Amino acid sequence: MKKTMRIISLILMLLVFTTMIGCQNKNGSTIQQKDIRESVWTQLSKSEQNEMVGTWNDGKIEKSIAKKDSNTFTLDDKSLDGKEVYLITFKSKNESTIGNVRKLVDIKSGKIVGSAFRN
């Protein structure tokens, strides 16, 4: 009976340990994933946020290749030239005149690294 309880306890401890290891990133810190749209929204200026139709939840996420010599984007972080980034689009109240707000975002850090030109 005691031997069976020990085996069950050992199995439970292994399961708990395995689960904890699976929820950590390479640096050992627990991963806390936040929606990238919310992260970008908080980096926008208040005037940009007030210009939006809806909230961060309404943003559209795409992947794009960052190019420093682009006719459509300014790339603030030149180290990302030629690399894949997120392109987050928020619908603007001024869509018909100057277009929507579109931001290039580093996939790893979640930081805004560029913007689309607006008409």
What is this structure's pTM?
0.68
pLDDT digits (tens, 9 = 90+) for 18-59: 666 655 555 544 434 468 999 999 999 999 999 999 999 999
- Specify the 3-state DSSP secondary structure of 75: strand
User: Confidence class of residue 6 from pLDDT cuts 50, 70 and 90?
Assistant: confident
Q: State the average pLDDT over residues 96-115.
A: 94
Q: Stretch 99-119: mean pLDDT, rounded?
A: 93
| Domain range annotation of the chain | 1-30, 33-116
Q: What pLDDT score was predicted for residue 118? A: 84
- Cβ 112 vs Cβ 40: under 8 Å: yes
Query: Which percentage of the chain shows pLDDT scores above 70?
Result: 82
* Span 92-112, average pLDDT: 94
CA distance 83 to 77: 11
